[in-house]
Amino acid sequence: MNTSPEQLWAEFGPIITDLSINVISALVLIIVGWSIAGWAHRAVRRGLGRFKDMDRTLISVVAGVTRYFILITLLVMVLGRFGVQTASILAALGAAGLAVGLALQGTLANIAAGVMLLVLRPFRIGDYVNANGNEGTVEEVGLFSTEFTTYDGLYVSVPNSGIWGGRILNYSRNPNRRHDIVVGISYRDDIDRAQEILLGVIRNDPRVLSEPAEPQVLVRELADSSVNLGMRFWTTGDDFWPASFELRKAAKKALDEAGITIPFPQRDVHHFDHREVA
């Protein structure tokens, strides 16, 4: 049985027409959607880049997430043009996302912690910190880990989840720091005289600040072998360690010149003759 072209077109023409329209529409969607995704990626990077405190890593992540969200939405729309049930696609994507999330929950925890560190900024590159027991100068804050250099030059990489959940001490954030240097003197020495000498040592150092508080020398403790005096004063963060080391040395010299001793630990030993007691 011969079929004429008119009959074939009458039978398959609507299907071909619909398919052609869908293909053309899909191509238009792909071109337009791809352009929009690229434009959104660049726009997000430019917009977030205007904020001076915004980390570059976080900018790249936000821009990338925006771009891929548009591309995934575009894929669902294109498949929908060909009659594919988008609800099933979304369900499959959700199931796949859940499976990946369960498999990579440790990695995702590091990413989430990294995002929080980049957004809230408890420390910045160059700060000296103690982050949940990890102490050093911050070299890089990434999405997965944070890199430190310790005071003795060691490289340390710590997963972000091990930092975010703990206590963070930032020694560089505030401009000024307080010193508390303890110096012990003998119980036989004049406390007032020792306080006067130590206070003079502090005030003669140009690095010592009068704000936020004037320098003080306080009686900290009546210890076993000494009366412990506390030298309390403020310096800038940059002067903290040099002033701490040098004022300890200056305090020792000043007390020696005044004849005030810094005693060694002492113990009184009482010996009893049991025969005499008997």
CB 155 within 8 A of CB 199: no
Domain containing residue 156: CATH number: 2.30.30.60
Domain for residue 272, yes or no?
no
Q: Is-contact 226 187, C-beta < 8 A?
A: yes
For residue 114, what are the contacts with CB-CB under 8 A and spacing of at least 6? 57, 141, 142, 143, 144, 145, 146, 160
The β-bridge partners of 134 are: 131
Question: What CATH number does the domain containing 225 carry?
Answer: 3.30.70.100
Same-domain status, 94 and 133: no
Tell me what pLDDT residue 144 has: 82
Residue 128: predicted pLDDT: 92
In this prediction, residue 84 carries a pLDDT of 62
Q: Which residue has tokens 């609507």? A: 14
Angle between helices 105-120 and 86-103 (to 10 degrees): 90
Residue 275 is which amino acid? Answer: R
Return the pLDDT at 124: 87
Q: Do 180 and 166 share a structural domain?
A: no
Question: What whole-number distance in Å separates Cα of residue 53 and Cα of residue 56?
Answer: 9
On the CB side of 41, CA atoms within 13 Å amount to: 15
A 10 A CB-CB count for 209 gives: 18
Per-residue confidence (pLDDT) for residue 261, from 0 to 100:
86
Task: Find the domain containing 150 and state its range.
Answer: 122-170
| 25 lies in the same domain as 74 | yes
Q: Are residues 161 and 242 in the same domain?
A: no
**pLDDT tens string 180-230:** 999 999 999 999 999 999 999 999 999 999 888 999 999 999 988 899 999
Contact 175, 236 (CB under 8 A): yes
In the beta sheet, which residues pair with residue 186?
A: none
Q: Number of folded domains in the chain?
A: 3
Could you tell me if 51 and 92 lie in one domain?
yes
Residue 64 lies in a domain: yes
Query: Do 193 and 127 share a structural domain?
Result: no
Is 131 among the domain residues? yes
Domain check: are 64 and 131 in the same one? no
Q: Return the higher-pLDDT residue of 19 and 257.
A: 257
Residue with the larger pLDDT of the pair 264 and 214: 214
Instruction: State the helix-helix crossing angle for 191-203 and 240-257, rounded to 10 degrees.
Output: 140
245 and 181 in a single domain? The answer is yes
List, in order, residues 6 or more apart from 249 with CB less than 8 Å away.
none
**pLDDT over 80 (residue 274):** no
Indicate the average pLDDT of the chain: 81
Task: Give the residue among 222, 129, 120, 213 at the shortest CA–CA distance from 168.
Answer: 129
